Amino acid sequence: DWYNAAMTGYVWRHRYWLRQALRQSVAQWPHAQQRSTPHAQQRSTPCAALHVRRSDVKLETGQRAPAGFHHVSEYLLRGRAMLEALGIRRIVLLTDSADAVKEAKEVGDYEWEWLDKARYADDSDNIQFSFPFPSGDPTLETLQLLTELEVVKQCSMLITDEGGNFAHLLYTSMCGRDADSWSCPP
């Protein structure tokens, strides 16, 4: 709806140094595209965003949450019909897990890309809610998250778990506005 979109745009406005850093970071992405409009149909190479959440399923006690981990192939199984229907071969992987990146490399059916950044290993004892930045640098990780949010605007669909705030934010950022209506991916 219009009000939420306007407020999101206002809240997400960036300071000049951050806008410059974000522009540079997005330009370094492997398939960076210059687009005059964020509308979903302006993409030259179709892609899907795959969001694999792992660090927050490990509880502060060190035990894994009941939901457990899902292999990248499980996410792909969920989205395969739509990927095939849209003819998508390129997948942008968004994850905090080094192991999810390894799993993606094992799935040879797609062209994978991801941001080269610090990630947790699934069996790491360093996963803590009290300090959720594997790089140790909150400013850098904020820039990396904003870069990923900007890059997924190029994608035609989102594959994720049952939800969560970041997944909702990813989906919302993928929606584009044309002259008369909102257009969101499936």
Residues 109 and 170 in one domain: yes
Same domain assignment for residues 160 and 113: yes
Stronger pLDDT, 145 or 5, i.e. the higher one: 145
Number of structural domains the chain divides into: 2
Kindly report the average pLDDT of the chain as a whole number.
76
Residue 183: what pLDDT?
63
With H, G, I as helix, E, B as strand and everything else as coil, classify residue 186.
coil
Q: Is residue 181 part of a domain?
A: no
| 169 close to 149: Cβ distance less than 8 angstroms | yes
Q: Between 175 and 142, where is the model more confident?
A: 142
Q: Which domain holds residue 7?
A: 1-29
Task: State the pLDDT at residue 37.
Answer: 35
pLDDT band at 57 (very low <50, low <70, confident <90, very high): low
Is residue 72 within 8 Å of 94, Cβ to Cβ?
no
* pLDDT tens readout for residues 88-143: 999 999 988 888 999 999 987 899 999 988 887 765 545 555 556 788 888 898 89
pLDDT of residue 94: 92
Q: Can you spell out the DSSP letters for 152-185?
A: GGG-SEEE-SS--HHHHHHHHHH-EE-SS-EE--
The per-residue DSSP string of 106-132 comes to: H-TTSEEE------B-TT-TT--TT--
- Give mean pLDDT, residues 44-48: 80
CA triple 1-146-157, angle to 5 deg: 55
pLDDT interval class at 160 (50, 70, 90): confident
**Does residue 133 sit in the same domain as residue 78?**
yes
Verify that 87 and 145 share a domain, yes or no: yes
What is the DSSP pairing of strand 176-177 with strand 90-95? Answer: unpaired
Q: Are residues 77 and 168 in the same domain?
A: yes
Q: Which two tokens stand for residue 186?
A: 């499936």
The answer to whether residue 184 sits within a structural domain is: no
| pTM greater than the 0.85 cutoff | no
Order of all β-strands in the sheet with 111-113: 111-113, 90-95, 47-52, 157-159
Check whether residue 69 and residue 160 sit in a common domain: yes
Same domain, 59 and 147: yes
Q: Same structural domain for residues 52 and 23?
A: no
Token digits of residue 89: 């071969």
Q: Within this chain, do residues 57 and 4 fall inside the same structural domain, yes or no?
A: no
